[in-house]
Amino acid sequence: MKKLLLILAATAPLLLSGCVVSVGGDGDSHYGADWEDREYNNRKHIAKLEQDMSYESVVRKMGVADFNEMHQKDDGVYRVLFYRTQRTQDDGVTTKDECTPLVFRNGALIGWGDSAYAHI
């Protein structure tokens, strides 16, 4: 009998162990870090951009934009890609005011930021 209890005591931790999954909105959760990492990476990539880079090379470096626009003007076709770089509201929704615009004319990067966007 003592032998059975000893075996049971030795194997109980293995049989009774479990897994705890934490789901929640506290500031320490990994969910909160995802958007921070994304914003940091976007800012880091934007800081390395150079004027006249091609649309294709920027998209290869930056990935899919959060928003994009196309404008036809007399001096060419403008394409604007918006990448999230700062959070303004903790609502889980990305809006254009949380993004940095990258402005292309005829497939070449001509500028980024609100002032470049305002020129078109």
What is the mean pLDDT, run by run of 10 residues, along the chain of 120 residues?
A: 63 53 42 79 97 98 97 97 91 91 98 95
Neighbours of 76 (CB within 10 A): 15
> In whole angstroms, what is the distance from residue 2 CA to residue 69 CA?
77
The verdict on pTM exceeding 0.75 is no
Q: 52 by DSSP, 3-state: which?
A: coil
Distances (CA, A) of 85 to 28, 67, 69, 89: 21, 13, 18, 13
The domains located in the chain, with CATH, are 51-120 (3.30.1450)
pLDDT the model gives residue 20: 45
User: What would you report as the CA-atom Rg of the chain, rounded to the nearest whole angstrom?
Assistant: 25
